[in-house]
Structure 1
Amino acid sequence: MTQPPRFSPRISRRGLLGTGALAAAGLAIPAWARGQSLTHAGKGFGELSGNTINLSIGNHHFSTGGRSGHAIAVNGTVPGPLIRLREGQDVTLNVTNNLDEDSSIHWHGLLLPFQFDGVPGVSFPGIRPGETFTYRFPIRQTGTYWWHSHSGLQEQAGHYGPIVIEGEHANHMPDRRYDRDYVVLLSEFTPRHPHEIARMLAVGEHYFNRQMMTVGSGEMSLEDRLMWGAMRMNPRDISDVTGATYTYLVNGHGPADNLEFMFGPGERVRLRIINGSAMTFFNVRIPGVAMQVIAADGQEIVPVEVDEFQIGTAETYDVIVSPFDGSHALVAEAMDRSGMGMASLTSHAGHRATPPPLREPVTLTMADMGMAGGMGDMDHSGHGNMTKMDHGTMQSDDGMNHSMRDTSLLPPDVKVSPGIDMVAPMPVDRMDFPGLGLDSVDHRVLRYTDLKAKNANPHRMPTRSLEIHLTGNMERYMWSFDGKQFSAVTDEPIRFGYDERVRVKLVNDTMMAHPIHLHGHFFELVNGAGMTNQPLKHTVVVQPGSTATFDLTANEPGDWAFHCHLLYHMHAGMMQTVTVRPFPEEADA
């Protein structure tokens, strides 16, 4: 992405909150937005475009497979409609809330004035029941993005949808030419109320896990059980919410719905893959068909060919495939292998591809404990040798003992509290790690180190460095940054000077992967690509017990959310506000 023109906000946050910018209105749901199939860019939801777009949030009932229950729909569908925009246009989006609780829409990955970012308590007051909020902003980019609620836990209930922004020369470059263009929006459905799920996780973080290793199963020795018990961990603690309660969806369709994506002989197909789930990392593959990855988080990259990739919650990847005649399974397998979303990519209408079986469950290793990757040779299939730990203390190859609970290893600005139950003793950068469970497969898997920006970024050295620790207590289900759970009222925000260039290092002291999202900005992954080719992203997955680093040019003034995009982690405290000041007008005064 070439650097977009900077936007000078002319509406103050105080002015926006004072006037409210809310108007009572009842916007009718167009008949064509109720979810008919599309031939161009998606199946399962309607499509909206133009300079003025009306969206209506309401209660709904949703069913797929054997599960049925309450949902929150936008314009009558789950997912809500595809919003198709063009770079350079000015868009007005009128969002009416027909729920009996406050709601909102956040435009995930879009560059816009912070007053229209859609985060209650950070950038606007939210949309009250029966009222309409009008979002207005210029479109300054191209690519694949999505939108979702930032109120309560509504995202889990169906309040989300895709965005496609086209440019002047879409589909004209030889290495990006395609004949068909589909949105593939991955998500989950559960009939359980999201607040019930949050309560169950707080009571017992293993509530939804049906793949735990036990001594009685023969998968774990008594010595191993005592070792993991000392850490209050289980090596199968991969996902908090699993296929035990989730049906995994592709464009709102469960595996039994036989969703089809059609293609003709010799055609190239673009798939815009969006992880719009609440809590699920997906492993995406089309067995027998190679995928050429051409964009990450909406930004063009140098094409790279793979057979599978892991997509964290809130990430997007665009791929081009050239399938041979027949039917192919488009598979989105949950990272913990507890279920999958599935559709058929087919040249024969009505022919359903045969999905592959679920693979063996994933097992955490010593590298995931933050032991620098050198502790034993176990891979994530669960096979190999484990280095002995004694009551939460691990002995490394150098003979030193490293406690998994030694909070003295944390820097002084991390608040030591009951919200921290584990510290990664020797975290290392794992940008070259393909994702839990994909390090032992025998085919090509995408890694962050494969990503290189297609267009050169301006060369600017960082003038400051910042380290942020991802912290938590899994047993109490408490999540935080630097040991501090989010409070919009009392928290001191993370501060950046306008146009400041900062190198940010994220240190994951927990044993779970976290997709970390910064609103209103793109940052550059420090992945070895060279400073002018570091890939631009808005979300980065930080692997368990590891670090991830990015360079940020803080050139979007305002107040922005910064959080883990696992919904229940954010809800439980892993969120913070980023403030970029002064505004350009103030700097010039």
Structure 2
Amino acid sequence: MRSIQSDRRALLRGFAGGAGLFAAQGLMPAWAQSGSAGLRTDLPTLDGPDVRLTVGHSPFTVGGRTGHAITVNGTLPAPLIRLREGQTARLSVTNTLDEDTSIHWHGVLLPFHMDGVPGVSFPGIRPGETFRYEFPVIQSGTFWYHSHSNLQEAMGHYGPLIIDPAGVDPVAYDREHVIVLSDWSFLHPHEILDRLKKSPGYFNQSRTTLSGLVSGEDGMSLEERRMWGGMRMDPRDIADVNGTTYTYLVNGHGPTENWTGLFRPGERVRLRVINASAMSIFNVRIPGLGMTVVNADGENVRPVETDEFQISVAETYDVIGLDGAHVLAVGIDHGHAPARDTHLE
């Protein structure tokens, strides 16, 4: 498994004492709410078993630039869908695009014709049509959903899916935050793929050089370079597309926007972390605090304590913070614009 680009290594950071702003935040309706004023705070939660979704075109602004996105119900990420084990889910999806679309329920156990992969389990959803997914909910945990059509996922067509257990949840917690990690580019995903096919190292702007070998700046010996050359591999190719092309998002918020999740001191907070990126791997940590992993890819696991975990594309991890006496700020160290620590008095 390849490691990630250094500008993605710090995902969770920034803690400060006090919870004086909590009452004001309680009025904010969105699962993706932020403690920073002026940001997107209206991403809704849709409770099942009956849910209506509309796929369409939307503008998306991050870092002062606006691009074209494909969204569900007009938001990026898509709405948080909440189901309960034992229900029969009925999810109606209307396509307002000028191309086919689809929704795949990632990790969910369901009949094959409800899986949502065009050309495999169903024909896809044609422009102007509505398709109704209907299936029994026979599990619980943290999942997500996304398009399997025309690289739409890379353009914003993804969202979180939480299934609550029918009985008492074996994981005790007082509050939760859903954290969707993703990558975004203003370059169309078809153009990214086309350039990669023509040159696998197209987006790698930090390659080893002859002058770097002579000066020692590359930090590699001649023997090491021969080893990599024998494998026909670039030692600096740690990601096909990196921070020179991608902006990395937390719940649709960019590096300078600093998505923030708040909670009262002493609460056990469950973080449901989802990697909805197109191709980026993230290292997740909370500086100064430990975490206990309690769920992986929708399955409860024997609790494991850790300071950091690596989450690959399409994976989910649920963690409980080991110290609930702080206000949590979540940001991204992008490299070009360092994440801000949010201090709440």
SS of aligned partner of 1:72: strand
Q: 2:205 aligns with which of 183, 189, 210?
A: 210
What is the number of residues matched between the two proteins?
306
1:263-302 deviations in Å (ceiling 9; x for gaps): 1111111000000111001000001111010000010011
Shift in CA distance, 161/258, structure 1 to aligned 2, threshold 3 Å: same
Contact preservation (8 Å) 2:256, 2:340: no
Q: TM-score, normalised by structure 2?
A: 0.82
SS of aligned partner of 1:243: coil
Q: 1:137 aligns with which of 127, 135, 138?
A: 135
The residue aligned with 1:249 is 249
Percent identity (aligned): 56
Q: What is the rounded CA distance, in whole Å, between the counterparts of 2:104 and 2:161 in structure 1?
A: 12
Please state if 1:274 is matched with 2:274: yes
Shift in CA distance, 340/289, structure 1 to aligned 2, threshold 3 Å: farther
Q: What is the rounded CA distance, in whole Å, between the counterparts of 1:94 and 1:341 in structure 2?
A: 40
1:440-495 deviations in Å (ceiling 9; x for gaps): xxxxxxxxxxxxxxxxxxxxxxxxxxxxxxxxxxxxxxxxxxxxxxxxxxxxxxxx
The residue aligned with 1:460 is none
The residue aligned with 1:157 is 155
Deviation, structure 1 residue 37 = 4.9
The residue aligned with 1:290 is 290
Please state if 1:236 is matched with 2:246: no
1:147-200 deviations in Å (ceiling 9; x for gaps): 0000111000000000000013344x4xx2211111001001111111000011
Shift in CA distance, 342/170, structure 1 to aligned 2, threshold 3 Å: farther
Deviation, structure 1 residue 146 = 0.2
Q: What is the rounded CA distance, in whole Å, between the counterparts of 2:312 and 2:242 in structure 1?
A: 15
Task: Please list every run of 5 or more consecutive structure 1 residues that lacks an aligned counterpart in the other structure.
Answer: 1-35, 352-589
The residue aligned with 1:121 is 119
Q: 1:148 aligns with which of 140, 143, 146?
A: 146
Q: What is the rounded CA distance, in whole Å, between the counterparts of 2:337 and 2:270 in structure 1?
A: 21
Q: What is the rounded CA distance, in whole Å, between the counterparts of 2:113 and 2:198 in structure 1?
A: 37
The residue aligned with 2:95 is 97
Contact preservation (8 Å) 1:242, 1:338: no
- The one-letter code sitting in structure 1 at the alignment partner of 2:132 is T
Q: What is the rounded CA distance, in whole Å, between the counterparts of 1:163 and 1:138 in structure 2?
A: 15
- The 5-angstrom pairing of residues 19-38 of structure 1 reads 37-38=28-29
The residue aligned with 2:13 is none
Q: What is the rounded CA distance, in whole Å, between the counterparts of 2:338 and 2:52 in structure 1?
A: 30
Please state if 1:194 is matched with 2:192: no
Contact preservation (8 Å) 2:263, 2:328: no
1:213-268 deviations in Å (ceiling 9; x for gaps): 33323213455444433432111211101111111101111121121100111111
SS of aligned partner of 1:197: helix
SS of aligned partner of 1:257: coil
Q: Higher relative CO (CA 8 A, sep ≥ 6), structure 1 or 2?
A: 2
- The one-letter code sitting in structure 1 at the alignment partner of 2:234 is N
- The 5-angstrom pairing of residues 169-180 of structure 1 reads 169-171=167-169, 173=170, 176-180=171-175
Shift in CA distance, 280/50, structure 1 to aligned 2, threshold 3 Å: same
Q: What is the rounded CA distance, in whole Å, between the counterparts of 1:246 and 1:67 in structure 2?
A: 13
Contact preservation (8 Å) 1:206, 1:237: yes
Contact preservation (8 Å) 1:271, 1:318: yes
SS of aligned partner of 1:264: coil
Deviation, structure 1 residue 51 = 2.3
Contact preservation (8 Å) 1:58, 1:72: yes
SS of aligned partner of 1:255: coil
Contact preservation (8 Å) 2:181, 2:277: yes
Shift in CA distance, 105/54, structure 1 to aligned 2, threshold 3 Å: same
The residue aligned with 1:168 is 166
1:36-80 deviations in Å (ceiling 9; x for gaps): 9546x5435211013221100001111111442110010010011
Task: Please list every run of 5 or more consecutive structure 2 residues that lacks an aligned counterpart in the other structure.
Answer: 1-26, 34-40
Contact preservation (8 Å) 2:89, 2:137: yes
Shift in CA distance, 260/296, structure 1 to aligned 2, threshold 3 Å: same
Q: What is the rounded CA distance, in whole Å, between the counterparts of 2:319 and 2:338 in structure 1?
A: 18
- The one-letter code sitting in structure 2 at the alignment partner of 1:87 is E
Contact preservation (8 Å) 1:105, 1:149: yes
SS of aligned partner of 2:193: helix
Deviation, structure 1 residue 329 = 5.1
> Root-mean-square deviation (CA), in Å?
2.3
Q: What is the rounded CA distance, in whole Å, between the counterparts of 2:328 and 2:127 in structure 1?
A: 45
Q: What is the rounded CA distance, in whole Å, between the counterparts of 2:297 and 2:339 in structure 1?
A: 22
Deviation, structure 1 residue 342 = 5.9
Contact preservation (8 Å) 1:286, 1:329: no
Please state if 1:183 is matched with 2:178: yes
- The one-letter code sitting in structure 2 at the alignment partner of 1:125 is P
- The 5-angstrom pairing of residues 304-453 of structure 1 reads 304-323=304-323, 325-328=325-328, 330=330, 349=344
- The one-letter code sitting in structure 2 at the alignment partner of 1:103 is T
Q: TM-score, normalised by structure 1?
A: 0.49
SS of aligned partner of 1:136: strand
